[in-house]
Amino acid sequence: MLNSQISSARDIEALRQAREAFNQNESYVQRWFMFKMATGYAAISILSSIVIISGGILFNHSDFPALTVTLAGAALFTDALGIVYTVWKVILNPRSVPRLEPVIKIP
């Protein structure tokens, strides 16, 4: 009887630890999703502001010095390319998405 109580206590503790690990993984997945959403919105707002400012300079190129127009074009190109690349590699990469799966394996 004592042996079955110890086994039962171990099983209960193992189940408690498995629940705790799963809850921690679930919390991590939720935080990762919120991070992805915040990064996406930040990227959209940054890219929009760069497009508006650089586009305004490029469309009114006669009002600005040649160096300013060149820098606006370079900023538009590099920032747009950098934001798209970063969002694609970090946020949209399927391998970077954490997955919820059972913590314990049942034979």
Phi, psi of 5 (to 5 degrees): -70, -40
Enumerate the domain spans of the chain. Answer: 2-96
pLDDT tens digit string along 25-77? 889 888 988 988 888 888 889 888 988 998 898 899 899 899 999 999 998 89
Q: What pTM was computed for the model? A: 0.66
What is the Cα–Cα distance from 13 to 80, expressed in whole angstroms? 52
Contacts 24+ apart (CB under 8 A), 11-15: 14/104
CB neighbourhood size of 72 (10 A): 19
